[in-house]
Structure formats: C-alpha cells, structure tokens
Structure 1
Amino acid sequence: GIQPRVAIDDRGTVHLIYFRGEPSHGDIFYVRSTGGGGTFSDPMRVNSAAGSAIATGSVRGAQIAVGGTGLVHVAWNGSRSSGPGSTPMFYTRLNDPGTAFEPERNIMRGEYNLDGGGTVAADRSGHVYIVWHANAPGERDEGKRRVWIARSADDGRSFDRERSVFDEPTGACGCCGLGAFADRRGGVYVLFRSAFEVTNRDMYLLASRDLGEHFSGIRIDRWNAGVCMMSTQAFAEGSSGLFTAWETEGQVYVGRIDPRTGTVSNVVAAPGSNRSRKHPALAVNARGDVLLAWTEGTAWNKGGSAAWQAFDAAGRTNSEPGHADGVPVWGLVSAYARPDGGFAVVY
C-alpha cells in the first residue's frame, strides 16, 4: 500500500489507513494497533464501492481523524469510476462495533470541480468537519475557488449543508490539498494554498473558535509562482502546543499556532540545503518534542525518499536528522509518537 495516514486516539491506539490498487481507481484499507505499532490488525476495506478512491498526484488521497470516543472518520476525493457527474467528496465512519465502515456518502452537494484533496477533522465532543475547496456554480477558474466546510454535531451521523468559510477572494490552488484540525479546546483550523491573480500561491491559516461557525484568516507564508505546486499540509497537537507544517519553494516549515489569536510563530525550516522537499507530516510526543517528516525528490509519477528531524518545544533540533530511501510513486510519509517517547515514520 501507499499514502499512509495515521491518527492516535486518547488510549494510544494507532489507527492507520492506506491506499492499494490502480492509482486512478483503487481502495482504502484500515488497520489499528494497540501496541504502539508493533503489530496491526487484519486490514479492513474502508470504501464500500470498489475502486472509488484515487492516489494520483499524492494530494487527493484519504484522510483520517479520530473522535473523543475513539470513533474513526475517513474522507477522500472520489475517483472518476465512483459514478457519473462531478468528482464526489466522500465520507465514512467506523460502525459502533468497530467491525466495518458504513457505506460512504458524498458530502459535496452544491459545488463542482473538486480537484486537490479534501480532509476531515474531529474533536472530543462529537463534532466532525469535512473541508475541501471547489468552485461554486457559475465560477470556473482557480481564483474563484473557495474553501467549503460541512459540519456534524453527532459524530458524523448527519452533516449540515456545506458553506464557504472565508470571504477574502484568495482563490485556492486547484491541485493542492488542504489540511484541517480540531484542537482540544473546540478550535477548528484550516491551512490552504491560495491562487489569487494566478501567481499568488500563498499559505493561509483559517481559525474558528466557535466550532466552525465563523472563521478568521491570515497569510502565513508567500510563494510567487504561476504553477500548481501539488502541495499538502499537516497538523499535530501535544503538551507543547498546536503545530502546523507546509511547503514553500521546495522547503518544508513547521510553526506553532497560538489558539487565542490564530497566528503562527516559532517557524523553523527543515535543516539542510535540499530543495525538493514536499508533503510534510508532524507528530508530538509526551515530552513535547516535535517530529517533522517529509519527502525528498518526489514529483509527478516519481518516487523519492523520506526524511525527518526532531525538535524540542522551543524549535531547536535535538537529534540527528534521519533519511530513508523507498518512498514509492505517489507516496507520502506519515508520523506518530510511540509510547516510549520515540517516533515512528511510515511511508
């Protein structure tokens, strides 16, 4: 399998999803580990319609979130084999016995031209958020794309109708993924790349302090280029705070989010001079150390390698950097903190 995505619940269970099959129309599988990742359960297929997931581009794959009760939520861009019409934004959740996933539902009802990957976030109080970017009816180009959110207050049993969350005309980078996260205080965050006037491919952080009802937004990084970066983002939370990571000009960065202001500070770059870095992943251990992982050398239809660096809570490197070959075509990295305080990188 490829494109692993990991979430850890409050009991320390590792929940992992991955893609398997043809990149344009494959399947998502789920496994879990109660031993910190030493052994995993037998795989369980997530999507009920065979071939309804996509891995092409590394930005459209499945995303996972775990709620406060340990309920697993998965969202993904549907493949073109999912059915006629516009590409769907699928969501499903694990059933109450934990034996199977419910049939997926298309959460996107009023927009079209879904491209870069959507995502899912969940909090400890039963709120689930599906977030994506797309065009409203009658709008066509990247500069008119908007970020949309659909919210659930009952652990994903039902969702309200989606709505646009940011009024500024930033657009959204069409073939870039976006990230979302629900923190321990009820805050909701979205990180996406703009496409204003074609060349303004900047990173924007949106923050809500009222369960996704209202969002404010700030630009946290700039990138002037008239191409689509096919980038992805990451979030992680731990005792040392809430962190986010992104890519700019072939480098990956991590910064701490202030939940009171929605601003990002203590931004540090991955060490070294390599400028082919993409697809960051984050994890925070019990000591508050932060692991930043990423890919190097990956591109369209091209694999590469995995790399990582650990930082202390102040952003200082506290270990030697790591590197491993073997990230496959359309591959990604993911990371999680182990019970012994170490980290695991999955690719």
Structure 2
Amino acid sequence: MLTLAFLAVMKFAQPAPDVKFQQPQVSSTGDRLGITFGAGNDIFFAQSSSDGESFSRLSRIETGGKLALGRHRGPRLVLLSKSAVITAIVGAKGGGTDGDLLAWRTEDDGRTWSKPVRINDVPDSAREGLHAMAAGNGWIVAAWLDLRAKGMQLYFSKSEDGGLTWSKNRLVYESPSGTICQCCHPSIAVSPTGAIHIMWRNVLDGARDMFYSRSTDGGLTFAPARKLGRGTWLLNACPMDGGDLAISSGDEVFTVWRREKTIFVSKSDGKESDLGPGKDAAIAAGLNGSVYAVWSSPEGIQVRSTKVDQTRTLAPRGEYPRAIFTGRSVLAFWEQDGGIAMETLEEPAPLVTKDPR
C-alpha cells in the first residue's frame, strides 16, 4: 500500500472548540515574516525571524465591531522596515449592511496598535467586505469592492507615510454592464519599478472573467482593463473566488485564478495554462524565476511550480491557501482543523560567504 508523507506543520492550533482561525495572510521584509488571520471579530498577528520555523506570541486586535471574515474576507498585512500595518473591513452591524476599510499600525512588533484609520472616504462604501493590500516603492496600496454608487465598482487608495494617512479614493474600474463581480476579492501588488498591478473579476454581458490593469504614475490613473485568459465563464452568480497575482524579481506579472471548475495561471499578456480542478488559488514568485501556485482541490491543498511540472498534494484537507516568497524561501499557509498550517515549498537559499583569504 502506498503511504503519502505530508510535511505540513500546524503553526497555530485551533484556539477553542467553538472558535477557529480563518483567512491567513502573510507578508515579508526579507528578514521578518508576518502573518495575520481572524477569529470571530478579532484580528491576530505574529511574526517570525526564522522563515516560519517559529513565531512570536500572538498579538490581538479587538476590532470593536463586526469583522468581515470568511470566503476571502478578512485582514490583510504588510510588514515595513520598522512597523506593520493591518487592514480589515469592520461594521457596527456587519453582514454586508455596513462596513469601512480600516487600518491599524504597530511600531513595537504588535505589543500595541494604533487606533484604526478609515481608508474609504465614503462611509460604509466598503460594506461588501472584500479588499486587497500590498506595499512597495515606499507606498502601501489598497483596492476594494465599493458600493458608493449603484453597482459594484473597484476603488483604490495609497498611503505614503506607512499607513498613517491615506489618499483620496480613486475609481479604478466600473463595468459598462453596471457592476463588477459582487463577491470576488481583488488582488494588488507593486512591482520593483513602482508599477501598481490590480486584478479583479468583471461582469460583462453575463461573463465573469478575470481582468487586469496597472498604473505607472503611482495610482493617479490606470490603464484600460484587459481580460485574462482565452476562454470565458458565463455565470449568473458570483463564484466568490478572485485568485491572486505576484510580481517576480524580473518584473514579470503572474496571475492565478479560477474559471468554472479549473485553475489557470497566466501572465499579464492574457495567455493561460491549465493547472487542474480546484478553487481559491494563490501564487508566489520565488528564486531564479520559479513560480508556485497553491489551491484547494477535491484531493486537498495542492501545489505546482515551474521548477517541478507536477501537481503535489500538501495536505489531504484544508482551505484558503496563501503563498509567499520571504526572500529566501517560498512558504504556503492554509486553514486546517480550525487552525493555520504551513509547509515550505522552496528551501532557503544558501548563504554566500566571502573567502576570508
């Protein structure tokens, strides 16, 4: 009988029988790795200086309201050189009736957190609960599904002072059909050259396909949106699955997303490759051009990379995987058994030392 060896490690166990950790999100500065996730209406944070081998004690943010959590709703994290910023959507009532995109900041490794700052400049316009955040080029950037007008639109804001203040909101995209996909999260990233890249699921003439745009002027304007992939998905419903994007060190844009029951990976030129059946995919660009995609499938959490063109199962059960390149390793995190599990996908790069002679 064939025995499968699963190398995943439970990093954060379920805190109580009636409480579970959900929606892990990760960020890295190269020397520090941070993770955030939610439980109930609270947000948790921890960091590691050992590429995830061990983590600090969990820090808790009590939101004081109803935290949008689950189905890609939940906190997002960026680590900066001397601070960390977490964003999440919180309302007094929750459930899509109200909600603002809020930002918290810590300068002491999570021991204390600032009071939240509201990012959306029209109250409750972020009530759908879906957003993305990233850092790069000295900025923190955020994109979210916005309901300030009739129909769902995609909005953007930027912070140039580490999350203390945020710019006037800018419309990234509105669909000529009257709405973008109402329940699929957007993705955002900043390239090494300072370009801001955004991906979302659109609605055009009954099709719910992935679209992409970028800004080369710091978010003042965005290029005309482009469809990703060759096929199309006619669907009179929301799949609640927005995919992910990553930028390589060579400034290549890689995206991963779902169409019908299949996961595809694509560059920003729109060409696609089929990875197999699944949902809730994430992507990371590693060393020397390597790219890793992880997703949920009927067989469990799966991974495939450009280094090994073969699908591997990381765990027989689990949901909502995330992947990150720490500067030395590629790691995957996901929900499992009420906690958060992790596996190393790409081993740390060897340290290069100078010959003492």
* Paired position in structure 1 for 2:11: none
1:17 matched to 2:17? The reply is no
- Which amino acid counterpart does residue 117 of structure 1 have in structure 2? L
Describe the superposition over 1:32-78 as per-residue Cα deviations: whole angstroms up to 9, x where unpaired. Answer: 11101100000011x3424542323x1211122234x3532222222
Q: CA deviation at 1:179?
A: 0.9
Deviation at 1:319, TM superposition (A): 4.9
Unpaired runs of at least 5, structure 1: 258-262, 298-303
Q: Distance in 1 between matches of 2:197 and 2:99?
A: 25
Structure of higher CA gyration radius? 2
Match of 2:102 among 80, 90, 103: 90
The answer to whether residue 315 in structure 2 is matched with residue 324 in structure 1 is yes
- Is 1:269–2:274 an aligned residue pair? yes
Q: Tell me the equivalent position of 1:107.
A: 119
The 1:342/1:159 distance shift into structure 2, 3 A limit, reads: closer
Q: Is the 8 A contact 2:321 2:332 kept in 1?
A: no
Please state if 1:231 is matched with 2:241. Answer: yes
- Asked if structure 1 preserves the Cα contact closer than 8 Å seen for 2:46 and 2:110, the reply is no
2:199 to 187, 191, 203: 191
The Cα of 1:212 is off from its aligned counterpart by 0.7
Residue 124 of structure 1 aligns with an amino acid whose one-letter code is N
Which residue of the partner structure matches residue 301 of structure 1? Answer: none
Q: Which has the higher contact order (CA 8 A, sep 6+)?
A: 2
Root mean square deviation, CA, Å: 2.6
Residue of structure 1 equivalent to 2:212 = 205
Counterpart-to-counterpart distance in 2, 1:83 and 1:135: 14
Residue identity over aligned pairs, in percent, reads: 20
Report the counterpart of residue 54 of structure 1 in structure 2: 68
Is there any run of 5+ residues in structure 2 with no aligned partner, and where?
1-20, 336-357
TM-score by length of 2: 0.78
2 CA distance for matches of 1:223 and 1:28?
35
Residues 129 and 343 of structure 1, relative CA distance in 2, 3 Å threshold: closer
- 2:324 is matched with 336
Aligned partners of 1:153, 1:229: CA distance in 2, in Å?
34
Task: Give the alignment's TM-score, normalised by structure 1.
Answer: 0.80
Displacement after TM superposition at 1:80 (Å): 4.6
Deviates more, 1:93-102 or 1:213-222: 93-102
Q: Provide the residue aligned with 1:37 in structure 2.
A: 52
Tell whether 2:23 aligns with 1:3: yes
What is the number of residues matched between the two proteins?
309
